Structure 1
Amino acid sequence: MAQSDFLYPENPRRRQEVNRLHQQLLDCLSDSYHATNKLIGVLNTHLGCKLAFIEMKRNGTIKENCDLIIQAMMNIQKELQKVDEALKDKLEPTLYRKLQDIKERETEKIAIVQKVISVILGEATSAASAVAVKLIGSNVTTGIISKLVTVLAQIGASLLGSIGVAVLGLGIDLIFQAILGAVEKTQLEEAIKSYEKHLVEFKSASEKYQYAIAEVTNIVKHPLK
């Protein structure tokens, strides 16, 4: 038992709560890595991108791992921006505006993209048009990905950023040493509040991101007719 536990008998419970919240954060982080790699795989296969897959740094901090995903997402956004600009250049203005119209049917958008996608990519599968529509003719890039990038940046800059992702395997006390070097009531409470605050946004943003990527991978397996 830590010396501070005699003064603050609730500290063991607080430690367990931080332990639980930390695992939730790692789960969200791991899910985001997995979804990002699925998206990278789709882009490399169907849009001719050459994006590198990412892997969690088990000996790194929360911030380092957040930064890795952020960089990967920024690279994804750049590649999608290139395709978007190419579509704008090759399509008539009225057809390009239809791609941006949320009321327009997806099948119609895909038909529009198919007119020029082979010119842009050199050669293209039928799935390429569907992927382009799902990622460019929607709010995935400008909304969902951008939101998750913002949340990850906030987590990295917070109290949690300096904590290692693998500290649970080394002992719970190391979490708190990583925070401020001592186990104190106020420090544990601050850690719990920080986890709770960021997990609410992170879970929401991560779930929307994973759902969007699942839609993209599903349309590749089952293209719209």
Structure 2
Amino acid sequence: MNLSDLLYPSNQQRRQDVIDLHQELLDYMKLNFKVTNELIGTMNEHLGAKIPNITMKDSGTIKDNCDIIIQAMNSIQQEVQKLDKEIRNRLDPGMYQKLYDIKQPELEKIAIADQMVSIILGEATASAGAVAIKIICSNIVTFTVNKLVALLAQIGISVLGGIAITVFGLGIDVILHAILGAVERDHLLASIQSYEKHLVEFREASEIYQCVISEISALVKDSTKLM
């Protein structure tokens, strides 16, 4: 047992807490990579987007991987804005407003969107209109993406940003040296507090994001069955 452990016997548990919290953060980052690729695939297939899939950088830091997701989400947002602009330019203002009016029947909005996407792309899939309504004309997707981008940016510039993704495959002593530099009580507490602070919102936002994209994927599958 080292001197730090003799002075602060709770350090051993704090070390494990740091490891557990890092693993939880890592799990949610993996989830966001998966879900973002799912959204990208849907947009590429049904809305004519050409956004490349993203891959987690195992040799990178937490910030490196936050930046990869942020860049992909920025590409998604740009594509949404581009398609929205094209639809707006092709529709009269009254018809365009119907697409965003929650009081309008869903099937009517899908029919309008389907026609617009077909005109823009030349040919559209059977699910294009429904996907367009969910992704382009719904504030839910925009809100969840914006929320995650903000949280990922915060995590990237926090004390966690410089921690390597794969450092936790190493031994505990190497892990703590790489993260903390020294296994002192204050360093451990600071790391735990930072993880807990960022995970509160990141956990919730990631789960909401997954639910939204899963709903869109289910919509596409249902539309395909009806063909």
TM bucket (normalised to shorter chain) is over 0.9
Evaluate the alpha carbon distance shift between residue 160 and residue 46 of structure 1 in structure 2; reply closer, same or farther with a 3 A threshold. same
**Residues in 1 aligned to 2:203 and 2:150: alpha-carbon distance in whole angstroms:** 13
TM superposition shift of 1:2: 4.1
- The equivalent residue for 1:206 is 206
Of 64-73 and 113-122, the range deviating more from structure 2: 113-122
Count of residues in Structure 1 that have an aligned counterpart in Structure 2:
225
- The equivalent residue for 2:50 is 50
Q: 1:159, 1:179 within 8 Å by CA — same for their partners in 2?
A: no
Aligned positions of 1:47-196 closer than 5 A: 47-196=47-196
Aligned positions of 1:26-37 closer than 5 A: 26-37=26-37
Q: 1:66, 1:152 within 8 Å by CA — same for their partners in 2?
A: yes
- 3-state DSSP class of the match of 1:126? coil
Q: Deviations over 1:84-113 (max 9, x none)?
A: 101101111111111112333322210111
**Residues in 2 aligned to 1:213 and 1:115: alpha-carbon distance in whole angstroms:** 23
Q: Aligned partner of 2:162: which letter?
A: S
Q: Percent identity?
A: 55
Q: Deviations over 1:109-141 (max 9, x none)?
A: 101112221111111112111111001111134
Q: Aligned partner of 2:122: which letter?
A: G
**Residues in 1 aligned to 2:66 and 2:29: alpha-carbon distance in whole angstroms:** 8
TM-score (norm 1): 0.95
Q: 1:102, 1:138 within 8 Å by CA — same for their partners in 2?
A: no
Q: Deviations over 1:133-173 (max 9, x none)?
A: 00111113431100000001101111111111111111233
For structure 1, the 5+ residue unaligned runs are none
**Residues in 1 aligned to 2:122 and 2:209: alpha-carbon distance in whole angstroms:** 30
Question: Structure 1: which 4+ aligned runs deviate by more than 4 Å?
Answer: none
**Residues in 2 aligned to 1:65 and 1:115: alpha-carbon distance in whole angstroms:** 38
Q: Deviations over 1:192-224 (max 9, x none)?
A: 111111101001110111111101111111129
**Residues in 2 aligned to 1:97 and 1:154: alpha-carbon distance in whole angstroms:** 35
- 3-state DSSP class of the match of 2:9? coil
**Residues in 1 aligned to 2:142 and 2:47: alpha-carbon distance in whole angstroms:** 18
Q: 1:77, 1:141 within 8 Å by CA — same for their partners in 2?
A: no
For structure 2, the 5+ residue unaligned runs are none
Q: 1:18, 1:188 within 8 Å by CA — same for their partners in 2?
A: yes
TM-score (norm 2): 0.94
Q: 2:180, 2:188 within 8 Å by CA — same for their partners in 1?
A: no
Supply the RMSD in Å over aligned alpha carbons. Answer: 1.5
- 3-state DSSP class of the match of 1:102? coil
**Residues in 2 aligned to 1:216 and 1:77: alpha-carbon distance in whole angstroms:** 16
